[in-house]
Amino acid sequence: MAITCNLCFYDRNADKNQFCEVCGSEMRPEISLFEAQEIKQQIKIKNPEIKTLLQTDPEPVSFNQTSNQIIAPESTNIPTSPPPTLEPAQTANISPKNPTNPTLITNNIVKLIPKQVGAPVPEFIIDSNNVIIGKFDPNIGPVEIDLDGFYGDETVSSTHAEIAFENHQWQIKDIGSANGIYIKPTGQNRFGYRINKPEILNSGDEIAIGKIRLLFLIT
């Protein structure tokens, strides 16, 4: 038959034991609160490393007046896990693929498509931030978009217009042409007045360089 210790409540002491196998206190059938505190204090002084099943919390030991037994408080220690480790924020790469040509960021293709039938060039690809529209002149040299050979090219100046990508938008301006530049915005039925300052271009706008009409398209 096993005997329960009245001090630490170890319940597997052999019935022939005179002292508790855990705390070493004398096995007594009954024990007062004062005696329990005295015995526990003596045990801590003799062996301070004994902690198993002994009251170590600051809470006082409660005493059952009816049964004259010491009631140990319930353990309230709740295991906790270490705080989660947050991964460092990843910095998004928002640099242009080609810093010298911001139009390539979205891989858009910008074109000028002649509107006249039988044009010597079916389309012009704008592959830089700015291009000059005009005709070849031996004294000036070639231009990026050469309209020589188109019907109505006699109305085109050597350096007629410039299309440039500025402030995240395409613009066109007259650079001293003789016959001017006209724009028919997308969705409109007629051209506006001759431009006298840089104008914004949107995909689908139609441009008249002299008498030659070109469709500005972003795909």
**Which domains does the chain carry?**
1-74 (no CATH), 102-218 (2.60.200.20)
Question: Which stretches of the chain drop beneath a pLDDT of 50?
Answer: 50-58, 61, 63, 88-105
The answer to whether residues 115 and 124 touch, using CB atoms and an 8 Å cutoff, is: no
pLDDT for the residue numbered 71: 55
pLDDT for the residue numbered 51: 47
Count CB atoms within 10 A of the CB of residue 130.
13
pTM over 0.75: no
pLDDT for the residue numbered 152: 96
pLDDT for the residue numbered 95: 34
Q: Which one, of 86, 116, 93, lies nearest residue 209 by Cα? A: 116
Q: Are strands 145-146 and 124-126 parallel, antiparallel or unpaired?
A: unpaired
Q: Which residues of 35-47 are buried (b: 16+ CB within 10 A; e: fewer)?
A: bbeebbeebeeee
pLDDT for the residue numbered 78: 57
Residues 6+ apart with CB under 8 A from 203: 186, 216, 217, 218, 219
